[in-house]
Each structure stands twice: as structure tokens, then as C-alpha cells.
Amino acid sequence: MSTATYTVKGMTCGHCVSSVKEEVSGVAGVTGVEVDLASGLLTVDSDGPVDPAKITAAVEEAGYEVANP
């Protein structure tokens, strides 16, 4: 089990949170996703290490930006 944390910029509402959760959940190996709208914190649980570039790409696909990829 592995956990990684990212900061997402540009989210302003619950729909934003849902979009990010949906895209990141689709990344291979990801087992859980938590998004905190107030802090912009994205926590990703996975079976093993997941390439941060894949998480960043998923966040960008949802229309947002990772602050420190």
C-alpha cells in the first residue's frame, strides 16, 4: 500500500472535486482518492508506487493543475 499527496490548483466547488476524483480513480493501480476542496489537497492510495506523471495527467484531464508535480 502506498499513499501520495498532491496540491491541486483551480478547484472552486464540489463539481471540481468530483471531476478530479473521477479522473484520478481511473489511473491504473489507484485504490482510493480523497480531495479536500478547502486546501486543494489530493491524497491518492494505491497498491504500489504510481507514476506521479500519470496522476498529474489525470488532474489536467479534469481541467486543473498540480501545483508541485
Structure confidence by residue, pLDDT tens digits, 35-61: 999 999 999 999 999 999 999 999 999
**pTM listed for this prediction:** 0.93
pLDDT bracket for residue 69 (50, 70, 90): low
Average pLDDT over residues 17-29: 97
Q: For the structural domain made of 2-66, what CATH number should be given? A: 3.30.70.100
Name residue 35's beta-bridge partners.
Answer: 42
Listed by start position, the domains of the chain span 2-66
Q: How far is CA 24 from CA 2, 3, in A?
A: 15, 13
3-class DSSP assignment, residue 5: strand
pLDDT at 1: 85
